[in-house]
Amino acid sequence: MDDRLDFSMSASDMDAGDELSPIRSRFHFPRTEKGADSVYLVGHSLGLQPKAARDYVDRELEAWRRLGVEGHFEGDNPWMPYHEALAEPLARLAGALPIEVVAMNTLTVNLHLMLVSFYRPTPERHRILIEGSAFPSDQYAVASQAAWHGFDPAESVIELRPREGEDFIRTRDVEELLEQEGETIALVFLGGVNYLTGQAFDMERIAEAGRRQGCVVGYDLAHAIGNLELRLHDWDVDFAVWCSYKYLNGGPGCVGGCFVHERHGRSDDLPRFAGWWGHDKATRFRMPEVFEATPGAEGWQLSNPPILPLAALRASLELFDEAGMDRLRAKSERLTGYLVHLLRTRFPDGLSIITPADAEQRGCQVSLRTGPEGRRVHRHLSEHGIWCDWREPDVIRVAPVPLYNSYSDVHRFVEVMAEGMGSAG
Ligand SMILES: *Cc1c(COP(=O)(O)O)cnc(C)c1O
């Protein structure tokens, strides 16, 4: 894939030719001590603040000031249906119908709520398939759910690992495992993009392989939404969860989201933990005694949502709509392709890239195994205004985000990295 991209132009010429480059100026970049803009390559951890976020939040503070409790029903954006305005833009990012998505809670809370409904273990089929290097919160959540149902997590949770000597997991190996052991697996739950290696799973093929064996298939999209083009509805995924402070730029601790496939959205046979906000909207305020779910993902809501973080998220979702996920993904493949191209040219044998080389199998993130000098190189990068992420024992994770990063950012990163490596003692 990379080999088909032409990087003979300079970074600044590529920026000049990038139709999405004006969107960069709609974000605040943290400043370095010397007052320069940083090169911000950690959108995989916390996305930047859209400049409009403050206005959006201010408007709701103003409505609260002016209207008090009436703000639920009055003003430009009444709070009662406020979360509904996020369904369409989120559905576009998730590749879903609006009824299949909802902005609510935070990721791990949503994961537990989904597992209450979708992890239905039996003595014959109680196992959960996850990635070996899953984000710890996901590991804790699935293990505690297995234990809650009376199973021993050491037996119930199975972890996928790359083959000996390889860095990421082959789709074919997942399919084979499912063919052989699928009948004992209740749930397949993988990250759309692995947070450590940056591997993007073939969610469509894995969902098909899992569902063929009668497994429920869910995805954690923390590193995938706003990064990859998703088609959750067509892929027939059962459920998905995400947070929105990474690539979605909703701000620290912002409201996460959930996808529930349409075919489950009206199902009364699924157990669920219920709350008043998930109750049928038509009768919610009559406060009836018996819970009746609103159709779709909204029926899993518990509480009325926090409006201020939703307002900030709205500002960012508008930028996604302006850019379009198809254009963002096209730029992303090129921008990350450029990063990999520069790294290979600059360090022909010095650096190991643990992210798949195939653009189809990665999002914007690239993870580098740096060797013993890594910590020092990472410090050198920080001291020169380059923000990237360090994971013990030796991994640097860099994410050029197509919404706000430039080819010049990528170029500068590699130059400063080379300086850092070159001065290795
Ligand atoms: C970021 C991330 C989380 C964070 O969970 P919260 O509940 O939002 O704190 C969980 N899982 C994965 C895979 C993540 O990348």
Measured in Å, residue 382 CA sits from the centre of ligand 1 at 24
Backbone angles phi, psi at 320, to 5 degrees: -65, -40
pLDDT for 2: 47
CA–CA separation, 69 vs 77, rounded Å? 13
**383-417 as b/e, with b when 16 or more CB fall inside 10 Å?**
ebbbbbbbeeebbbbbbbbbbbbbbebbbbbbebb
pLDDT value at position 329? Answer: 98
pTM of the predicted protein model? 0.96
107 CA to centre of ligand 1 in angstroms: 6
In DSSP terms, which residues pair with 366 in a beta bridge? 398
Ligand 1 mean position, distance from CA 142 (Å): 13
Q: Which residues fall within 8 angstroms of residue 337, CB to CB, at 6 or more apart?
A: 1, 2, 5, 7, 359
> CB under 8 Å to 215, separation ≥6 — which residues?
129, 178, 182, 185, 186, 187, 188
- Best residue among 45, 46, 111, 137 to mutate for probing ligand 1's pocket (most ligand atoms within 8 Å of CB) is 137
Distance 301 CA to ligand 1 centre (A): 19
Buried-exposed string 339-370: b where 16+ CB fall within 10 A, e elsewhere: bbbbbeeebeeebebbbbeebebbbbbbbbeb
Specify the length of the chain in residues.
Answer: 425
Residue nearest to atom 13 of ligand 1 (CA): 135
Report the amino acid identity of residue 96.
Answer: A
Residue of 104, 113, 131, 135 with the most ligand 1 atoms within 8 Å of its CB, for mutation: 135
Task: Dig out the tokens for 156 from the structure.
Answer: 């119930």
- In angstroms, what is the span from residue 137 Cα to ligand 1's centroid? 6
**How remote is the CA of residue 223 from the centroid of ligand 1, in Å?**
9
> Measuring from atom 6 of ligand 1, which residue has the nearest CA?
107
Please report the pLDDT score of residue 350 as a whole number.
Answer: 67
Q: Identify the CA nearest to 166 among candidates 127, 128, 191, 133.
A: 133
Number of H helices, E strands in the chain: 13, 15
At 376 the pLDDT is 94
> For ligand 1, what atom is nearest to the CA of residue 256?
8
Residue 243 Cα to ligand 1 middle (Å): 6
Phi first, then psi, for residue 371 (nearest 5°) are: 80, -170
Which residue's alpha carbon is nearest to atom 14 within ligand 1?
Answer: 222
> Ligand 1 centroid to 287 CA: how many Å?
34
Ligand 1 binding pocket, CB closer than 6 Å = 106-108, 135, 137-138, 191, 195, 220, 222-223, 243, 256
Q: Which residues of the chain have pLDDT under 70?
A: 1-4, 350, 423-425
- Nearest-atom number in ligand 1 for the CA of 110 is 7
What atom in ligand 1 is closest to the CA of residue 45? 1
Neighbouring residues of 367: CB distance < 8 A, sequence distance ≥ 6 = 196, 197, 198, 353, 354, 355, 395, 396, 397, 398
CA 251 to chain centre: 14
Q: What is the structure's pLDDT at 3?
A: 52
Task: State yes or no: cis peptide before 30, omega within 30 of 0.
Answer: no
Task: Find the DSSP H helices in 170-292.
Answer: 171-181, 203-212, 262-265
CB 99 within 8 A of CB 116: no
- The pLDDT of residue 303 is 97
Cα–Cα separations (whole angstroms), residue 175 to 84, 240, 304, 324:
37, 20, 40, 32
